[in-house]
Chain A
Amino acid sequence: MRKYIFPVFIAFMLILPFLYLPVLSAAGAWKYPSLVPESWSAAHWDRLLASRDGILPVVTLSVILSGSVALLVTVTGFIFGRLLTGCSGKRQIQAAGYLAYAFSPVIYAYCLQFFFLKAGISGTIAGVIIVQFLLFFPFSVIYFISHWGRNMVSLEELCFTLGSSRRTAWRMALIPVSVPALRTAFLQIFVFSWFDFGLTQVIGQGRVSTLSLTVWQYLAEADPYIAAAGSCLLLLPPAILMLLNEKTIRFRP
Chain B
Amino acid sequence: MNIKVNNISVNRSGQQVLNGLSFELEDGHILSVMGKSGCGKTTLLRVIAGLGSSDTGNIVIGGRDVTLVPPQERGAVYLYQEALLFPHLNVLDNLSFGLRIRGEHKKSADEKARDMLEQLDLASHAAKKSEQLSGGQRQRVAFGRALLVSPAVLLLDEPFSNLDSETRAAMQQLYRKMAQERGITTIFVTHDLKEAVIMGSRLSYMEAGKLHLYDNLNSFAADTRTGMQREIGFWQSFDKK
Binding site for B on A (CB under 8 A): 151, 154-155, 157-165, 168-169, 172-173, 176-177, 179
Contacts and interface: CB of A to CB of B under 8 A. Distances in A.
Nearest to B70: A160
A163 B102 contact: yes
A161 B76 contact: yes
B149 A162 contact: yes
B149 A163 contact: yes
A168 B100 CA distance: 10
Contacts of A172: 97, 100-101
Interface string B69-81: 0111111111110
Contacts of B49: 157, 161
Given A163-B101, A172-B100, 8 more contacts: A154-B80, A157-B49, A157-B78, A159-B101, A162-B101, A163-B73, A164-B98, A169-B101
A166 to B, nearest CB: 8
B97 A162 contact: yes
Given A161-B71, A161-B76, A163-B72, A179 B97 contact: no
B84 A154 contact: yes
Contacts of A179: 88
Interface string B92-103: 000001101110
B210 interface: no
B140 interface: no
Contacts of B71: 157, 160-161
Contact of A176 (B76, B82, B84, B86): B86
Contact of B98 (A162, A165, A176): A162
A168 B77 CA distance: 17
Given A154-B84, A177-B86, A177-B88, A163 B98 contact: yes
Contacts of B87: 177
Contacts of A155: 84, 86
A158 B84 contact: yes
Contacts, number: 63
A179 B82 CA distance: 21
A174 to B, nearest CB: 10
Q: Decide if the interface of chain A is mainly helix, strand, loop or mixed.
A: helix
A140 to B, nearest CB: 22
Nearest to B79: A158
Nearest to B98: A162
Nearest to B153: A161
A52 B33 CA distance: 78
Interface in B46-92: 49-51, 70-80, 82, 84, 86-89
A172 B100 CA distance: 9
Contacts of B75: 163
A177 B49 CA distance: 23
B145 interface: yes
Given A163-B101, A163-B102, A169-B101, A176 B149 contact: no
Closest A-B pairs by Cβ, 10 of them: A164-B101, A162-B98, A160-B71, A176-B88, A161-B77, A168-B101, A161-B78, A157-B51, A160-B72, A163-B102
B146 interface: yes
A163 B49 CA distance: 11
Given A154-B84, A160-B51, A179-B88, A173 B97 contact: yes
Nearest to A159: B101
Contacts of B84: 151, 154-155, 158
Given A157-B51, A168-B101, A169-B101, A162 B88 contact: no
B97 A161 contact: no
B102 to A, nearest CB: 5
A179 B70 CA distance: 28
Contacts of B72: 160-161, 163-165
B139 to A, nearest CB: 14
A175 to B, nearest CB: 10
